[in-house]
Amino acid sequence: MINVILQVAQVLGGDNSDIGMILQTLFSLSFIIYLFYAQRIQAMTMLRQVEVTLRKVKTIKDEGRRVSIEMVKEVGKPERDPTPDVDRFLEQFVISPVSMDPAGIMGKLDQLINVSDYTNEAEVKAIAPQATEAEAHNIENLLGAAHALNYYYKAIRHFYLLGKKTMNVYIIMQIHMILPLIIKEIEATSSAIQAFRNGMPIGDGVGPLVVSKLMRGHELIDVARETVAAWVPYEGRTLILLKAKGPGGSVGKPGAGVAKILGDDKKEKKIKAVIMIDAAGKLEGEPVGEIAEGFGAAIGGIGVEKYKIEEAVKARDIPMYAIAIKQDISHVIAPMVEELHKATDTALESVKRIVTERTQEGDHVLVAGIGNTMGIAQ
């Protein structure tokens, strides 16, 4: 706008017209105003954009809370209104242990996670007493998604109100610059509400789905909390298949499961390889469902389960292979799309090829499918 005024003023100013002088004056005033108030104008513009997003997030957050309460009432059939209990659940938090002295921090984190898991399970059973085990897990996952939406809303609101109060452009920029990424996560979490409400398989379940295709029809044995395994013959070898127990939404305790199986095999030493399958974040430009092979413990989270697996494998000096099924963050906790379902067949062929090429007949191979078993029974 200022450039347009300047150009017009230059054209008319050549004729020494009154209009040219007026435009020159307007340009000068505009420049002075912009010089002193540019930062404030920028802050107000960004605040407006954050405000619009905040309203959208509030709508999504309220919908997540409403669906959670409805599911608890419908499935759990509580004797009293569960709304206060749900609201209390949405405000829960976990304080990380001190990390200045890293020795023993994994044990502290493990203890915190166990307390949190047991407490959440107990609370879900209390507010939804008629729910089955699978339904209770789904309710817990649904409440977890609603909890995340509640936190996103409060965090955005905090920076919005603080920026509005101080009109400090640097405070406002902190939330404005990362807002597109946050919105992407919020929309993904919003999609998860539908999946958790209906018990549908999600993108994070690709690892367990690959393993379930191999263990169908075979006896399942509990090897850790909410974690099962099956011993399946294949090409003269024995596959020890491990995944979280379904069909309720659970990731199980794969670290404890792998440690137990390797510990039981310590004397016989028949296990010659570990293969882990998990979902992995894709880069922009990579297709959804692309398969990549690598080495190491393919597992996310805060690191406790990964630490247990690495320690157990290191003690036996066993090679560990990883198969990653790539997907965007919008797919991880959303209902599983067709591309990911097809990718599990490709990943299954990768597992079979690694087994036949890198082990010998008579060997045992531990294959772990890492991820949430929502909607995946066996």
358 and 211 inside one domain: yes
Quick check: 7 pLDDT over 70?
A: no
Domain final position from 147, 174, 198: 198
8 Å CB contact between 147 and 94: no
Indicate the pLDDT class of residue 16, thresholds 50, 70 and 90.
low
Q: What is the pLDDT of residue 147?
A: 93
269 and 355 inside one domain: yes
Indicate the pLDDT class of residue 11, thresholds 50, 70 and 90.
low
Q: Average the pLDDT over 31-37 and give the result.
A: 69
Q: What is the pLDDT of residues 101-152, one digit of tens each?
A: 888 899 899 999 999 989 999 999 999 999 998 899 999 999 999 999 999 9
Q: What is the pLDDT of residue 301?
A: 86
Q: What is the pLDDT of residues 153-162, one digit of tens each?
A: 999 999 999 9
355 and 222 inside one domain: yes
Would you say residue 17 lies in a domain? no
Q: Average the pLDDT over 205-217 and give the result.
A: 93
Range of the domain at 161: 49-198
Identify the residue whose tokens are 């406790």: 304
Average pLDDT, the chain: 89
Antiparallel, parallel or unpaired: β 221-224 and 237-244: unpaired
Q: Average the pLDDT over 248-266 and give the result.
A: 91
88 and 166 inside one domain: yes
Q: What is the pLDDT of residues 70-110, one digit of tens each?
A: 999 998 899 889 999 999 999 998 888 888 888 889 989 99
Would you say residue 26 lies in a domain? no
216 and 248 inside one domain: yes
Find all residues with CB under 8 Å of 166, minimum gap 6, and list them: none
Identify the residue with better confidence: 328 or 24.
328
Would you say residue 134 lies in a domain? yes
Element (H, E) at 10: helix 2-13
87 and 148 inside one domain: yes
Q: Average the pLDDT over 35-48 and give the result.
A: 80
Would you say residue 313 lies in a domain? yes
Indicate the pLDDT class of residue 243, thresholds 50, 70 and 90.
very high
287 and 223 inside one domain: yes
Q: Average the pLDDT over 303-329 and give the result.
A: 94
Alpha-carbon span 49 to 56, nearest angstrom: 11
Would you say residue 7 lies in a domain? no
Q: What is the pLDDT of residue 195?
A: 87
Domain final position from 131, 164, 198: 198
170 and 209 inside one domain: no
Would you say residue 290 lies in a domain? yes
Strand, helix or coil for residue 185: helix
Residue among 267, 300, 314, 47 nearest 179 (CA): 47
> pTM for the complete prediction?
0.84
Alpha-carbon span 16 to 174, nearest angstrom: 48
Domain tally for the chain? 2
Domain final position from 182, 198, 214: 198
221 and 148 inside one domain: no
Q: What is the pLDDT of residue 10?
A: 55
Identify the residue with better confidence: 342 or 17.
342
Q: Average the pLDDT over 213-217 and give the result.
A: 90
Q: What is the pLDDT of residue 266?
A: 83
8 Å CB contact between 328 and 277: no
Would you say residue 80 lies in a domain? yes
Quick check: 3 pLDDT over 80?
A: no
Peptide bond into 247 cis (omega under 30): yes
235 and 182 inside one domain: no
What whole-number percentage of the chain has pLDDT above 90? 62
- Cross-strand pairs, 294: 322
224 and 118 inside one domain: no
